[in-house]
Amino acid sequence: MNSPNRLLIIVLILASFVMSCTQKKSTTGDQQMNTFISDLMGQMTLEEKLGQLNLPASGDIVTGTASSSDIGEKIKKGQVGGLFNIKTAEKIRAVQQIAVDESRLKIPLIFGMDVIHGYQTLFPIPLGLSCSWDMELIEKSARLAAQEASADGICWTFSPMVDISRDPRWGRVSEGSGEDPYLGSQIAGAMVKGYQGDDLRKNNTILSCVKHFALYGAIEAGREYNTVDMSRIRMYNEYLPPYKAAVDAGAGTVMAAFNEIDGIPATANKWLLDDLLRKDWGFNGFVVTDYTAIMELEEHGIGNLQEVSALSLKAGIDMDMVSDGLLTTLKESLDEGKVTQQQIDQACRRILEAKYKLGLFEDPYRYCDVNRSKTEVFTPENRQVAREIAAQTLVLLKNDNQVLPLQAGKTIALVGPLADNRENMPGTWSVAGDFARSVSLLDGLKNALGGEAKILYAMGTNVVSDPELDARISIFGKPTKWDKRSQKEMIAEAVTAARKSDVVIAAMGEAAEMSGEAACRTNIELPENQKELLKALLATGKPVVMVLFTGRPLAIAAEKANIPAILNVWFAGSEAGDAIADVLLGKVNPSGKLTMTFPQNVGQIPIFYNHKNTGRPLAEGKWFSKFRSNYLDVPNEPLYPFGYGLSYTTFDYKNLKLSDSNLIADGELKVSVEVTNSGNYDGAEVVQLYLRDMVGTVTRPVKELKGFQKVLLKKGEIRTVEFTLTEKDLRFYNSDLQFVSEPGDFKVFVGTNSANTLEASFVLK
Ligand code: NOJ
């Protein structure tokens, strides 16, 4: 702080602040920032500018294939702009100190991390969170994540991940909000607001990074890092809206995707990063690559490191995560006239702007308050909120004979490889978690029941039976807890427990790292050994409740057919066990609704509700018709449709009414429906509104979500739920990529899920 350069920076900030006091408020901030950054850049060498574009990984947390060494030395030389995957306020303070005390210009570093669904207090995986359909809760989860991360030194998160995904073979569906662009857009905006708050300079708000731009969710065959090929019209209507919503909500940074688009990898795609993102959408933050993505352009086959680094910069990349490509090759490219000084300056300026907006020049240690990290992380209050949120994300798939909620005073056999497994509760991408302190289902039931009920626990089987596969999924501190006993012995123990009980709870499904990055599956059924255990449990004649842990929709047709009750719990975070117990015991009535279709089998994939009609649709209610769009062996219907989820109570829909049979261009149409809680419990219902544009200049989906409301209805309560539609809700991208509506007939559907709706019609005049 006492060096001449540090002083100079402070003097510059103060000077520009004093000057600005006489200027208009709306422009002062920007002018101050611009003056400050121009002055600073005026002092920077080319090498120092390139240093700002460089983002090595700390090596603290391993998530990819490369890690940089000698980071301390590089920081001193001004060759590092930020660091990621390093945590704790102490460590980050120490590294920041190298930058501000030992580098020539004392420019602070920006510290990023994958804070994806909470920091140490972990919320459900994003796919689970989306099933709450509750924007306030989702924003709150991001707010608390930012609060905790910023207390521990982090000022930038690589979230939200908003890739629309329709292929559950892809492990990363767990990280996103499912298949719907409308819902995905709302969630994208809520997450950005939650992280960034209303003022990035506050020490408890962090910069967000919307990813992976773009279309990563459409990789071929659901195989990680694979190719994407898509028409523009599909992109604009179905895949791009959530990224745009995040940008509109003010996301400060964007991460380019690994995949290619129109044959050019996103990292080097000028159309994507410049024409679309910056020029059309007006994005003015910085764009970071994904991990080693510049290096990977060589593997894609579009040039050597020097060439691809130049291509990336020219396309619109500002910061290079881990490749060292921009740092080490751009000087040569500049000398050879392959890039311009202006392009380098532009990228450097954008990164300095982000640091400025975070307030790092004023106080580089703004996020390194050791006191905060001791008092604001993993607090009982945050954990309580996480528990409440988690309970809202569980989806009741089946509940025959009202097996659930569990009756008091019964003996419970708790069986299955996920029943007593704290480490696997948080799910994928939980790098700051303290897994041993998560609440397992066994913990949760014990906490809830105390001495009231007897719980007989048996593991029953391993997660998978193949030890090699088990090793692949027992990573990142999340062992599956392989039991060496024979399958026969383990099943026998579980059956004995079941026989002594009134009800069996079978905690089955995936381990946490069976979904997430580079965790794709071609078979998305339950592993055979788990099926075998289930059969044995069902054979006891005791009622079985399957508590299904999963990071993706699973193909569970056989289980749906045979098991009386299924509660899908995703990976519900650090408080999972308590939240699941709350729902199993009826303290919380489940209200989660699926945001991704569950297929009957893997052959139906990709399967999604908002598909096109085709020229030969299958008539409604039919199983098969020759020369129609269908399969010989399985009906077209999914196992569970988008929007599906049961409650302990029942909701009846009637009296769908429109305020008019026409909607005029600048008018409004009110759509109302009467919803009755006709069952025996108070409960929340997500009332969903879909539209179909019956005739268009281009073909339109059979249904599109255009509104939803989550309403809490007391037992017996009747509520009229009203939606307002305007012409804007009917717009889409036509074949010229103009965002328009087209007059004509529309259908409106309102109901409890995408397949079970009431229906009415109107005309757009
Ligand atoms: C690779 C992943 O694709 C991305 O989502 C993540 O943010 C980075 N690694 C950094 O860990």
Q: What is the pLDDT of residues 473-491, one digit of tens each?
A: 999 999 999 999 999 999 9
Position in ligand 1 atom list of the atom nearest CA 175: 5
Is-same-fold flag (67-373; 394-591)? no
Name the residue ranges covered by the structural domains of the chain.
Answer: 67-373, 394-591, 651-764
> Given the CA of residue 212, which atom of ligand 1 is nearest to it?
5
Of all atoms in ligand 1, which is nearest to the CA of residue 159? 7
Alpha-carbon distances, residue 708 vs 613, 644, 725 (angstroms): 23, 13, 12
Residues with CB under 6 A from ligand 1: 63-64, 114, 158, 211, 290-291, 517
Q: Which CATH class is domain 651-764?
A: mainly beta
Do the bridges between strand 320-321 and strand 54-55 make them parallel or antiparallel, or are there none, so unpaired?
A: parallel
Residue 114 Cα to ligand 1 midpoint, Å, equals 7
Shortest-distance Cα residue to atom 7 of ligand 1: 158
Q: Which of 421, 495, 418, 489 is nearest to 456 (CA)?
A: 495
The pick from 86, 117, 290 for probing ligand 1's pocket by mutation, whose C-beta has the most ligand atoms within 8 angstroms, reads 290
Predicted pLDDT at 217: 98
Q: Report the separation in Å between the CA atom of 355 and the middle of ligand 1, taken as the mean of its atom positions.
A: 21
Residue nearest to atom 1 of ligand 1 (CA): 291
Atom 3 (ligand 1) nearest CA: 290
Q: What is the pLDDT of residue 543?
A: 98
Given this model, what pLDDT does residue 408 score?
A: 87
pTM (2 d.p.): 0.95
Asked if 209 and 156 touch (Cβ cutoff 8 Å), the reply is yes
CA of 291 relative to ligand 1 center, distance in Å: 6
Neighbours of 466 (CB within 10 A): 12
Closest CA to 54 of 388, 339, 476, 348: 348
Mutate to test the pocket of ligand 1, among 67, 111, 114, 116 (most ligand atoms within 8 A of CB): 114
Q: Is 116 helix (H, G, I), strand (E, B) or coil?
A: coil
Candidates 653, 633, 634; CA nearest to 643 is: 653
745 phi, psi to nearest 5 deg: -85, 140
* Shortest-distance atom of ligand 1 to CA 211: 5
Element (H, E) at 444: helix 441-449
The single-letter code of the amino acid at 123 is F
- Helix, strand, coil share of the chain (percent; to 5): 35, 20, 45
Whether residue 251 contacts residue 193, with contact meaning beta carbons closer than 8 Å, is answered with: no
Spacing, Cα 86 to ligand 1 middle (Å): 14
- The ligand 1 atom at the shortest distance from the C-alpha of residue 63 is 11
Give the closest residue (by CA) to ligand 1 atom 10.
291
Catalytic residues: 290
pLDDT one-digit tens code per residue, 317-345: 999 999 999 999 999 999 999 999 999 99
Within the chain, which residues score under 50 in pLDDT? Answer: 1-4, 8, 11, 15-23, 62-68
Concatenate the DSSP letters of all residues of 601-648 into one string. Answer: SGGG-S--TT----SSPPPTT-S--TTSS--SSS-SS-SB-TT--B-S
Residues 6+ apart with CB under 8 A from 545: 403, 404, 406, 503, 504, 505, 506, 563, 564, 565, 566, 567, 584
With the most atoms of ligand 1 within 8 angstroms of its CB, the residue from 211, 224, 225 to mutate is 211
Q: 1-34, pLDDT tens digit by residue?
A: 344 455 545 545 554 444 444 445 557 789 999 9
Confidence at residue 4, expressed as pLDDT on a 0 to 100 scale: 47
What's the 251 CA to ligand 1 centre distance in angstroms? 17
Q: Give CA–CA dist 475/576, Å, rounded.
A: 20
Ligand 1 centroid vs 257 CA: distance in angstroms?
A: 9
Q: How far is CA 166 from the centre of its chain?
A: 14
What CA–CA distance (Å, rounded) separates 661 from 743?
Answer: 13
Span from the CA of 165 to the centroid of ligand 1 (angstroms): 17
Q: Quote the DSSP letter at residue 319.
A: B
Please provide the CATH number assigned to the domain covering 394-591. 3.40.50.1700
**Measured distance CA(450)–CA(80) in Å, rounded:** 53
**What pLDDT, on the 0 to 100 scale, is given for residue 6?**
53
CATH of domain 67-373: 3.20.20.300
For ligand 1, mutation pick of 62, 63, 111 (most atoms within 8 Å of CB): 63
